[in-house]
Amino acid sequence: MLARARTASYPGSQLRELPPHLVEAGFEEIDGALKLRPHFASVVDFQRHDIRESVPAGPFDFVLCRNAAFIY
């Protein structure tokens, strides 16, 4: 999933609920997919951490934890 996320490329159906002006500002169409513009993609870093074992070094501006709210 991280490898897929790092491509920053999404089918249009995944962004259908995003307001059109944000799609236009943040994405460009490449090979039939919407790819996050380099300006935005360059400041995103995807990392895998197991929060049960250690706390990752910060600081972070935004953190998403898959399943953390539901399992841990």
Is-contact 34 12, C-beta < 8 A? Answer: yes
pLDDT tens across the length of the chain (72 residues): 788 888 999 998 999 999 999 999 999 999 999 999 999 998 888 888 887 888 888 788 877 776 665 554
- H/E stretch holding 26 reads helix 20-26
| E strand segments, the chain | 9-10, 27-30, 33-36
- H/E stretch holding 56 reads none
